[in-house]
Amino acid sequence: MKRRKYKQKLKREFIRVNESIRIPQVQVVDELGKKVGIMETAKALKLAREKGLDLVEIAPTNRPPIVKITDYGKYMYDKGQKEKGQKQSTPAQEMKTVRIGLRTGDHDLEVKAQQADRFLKKGHPVRLEIFLKGRERGMQDEARKRIEHFPNFISQSYVIDGKVKPSPRGFAFIIRPAK
């Protein structure tokens, strides 16, 4: 049987331009960014055509909507560049997880602590989890002690966010790098 790969459809924002703006009155901003005022759409479109530019709706939710006299291609390019810049400027604050078990040995805990150190050094928050399997769920007191003891192995400076909380399969808490 063949499996089909489904592509996720991107939600595209529809921007009204020129004749597709059907609201009778609009608030107009000229190509320099100065507010011209509220006028009829036909008059604003005529003003844009005289300048050899397009009438682009930039704030459709306002009443009356705000339109700008500008080149549509340049407007879309600038908008794309601005979105691209915003994506790049956001820091990668990805939550990392370090999971241990009740029977994990001390040497393995040190290795896991080194892993948490690397994550904290890069600036990521770390979720520390103890995972209980089967009959281990009956030893919740020991598991809580074990997870509370684990941060002693971590050499990087950190701040604990909240208390140790029960999770579906054990206990967990979050540590963040100290600033």
The residue extents of the domains of the chain are 18-80, 96-177
How do beta strands 126-131 and 170-177 pair?
antiparallel
pLDDT in tens, 19-71: 888 899 999 999 888 998 999 999 999 999 999 999 999 988 888 999 999 99
Q: What pLDDT is stored for residue 1 in this prediction?
A: 54
pLDDT in tens, 110-128: 999 999 999 999 889 999 9
Q: What pLDDT is stored for residue 69 in this prediction?
A: 93
| 125: preceding bond cis by omega (within 30 degrees) | no
Q: Does domain 96-177 have CATH number 3.30.110.10?
A: yes
Superfamily of domain 18-80: Translation initiation factor 3 (IF-3), N-terminal domain (3.10.20.80)
Distance CA 141, CA 160 (A): 20
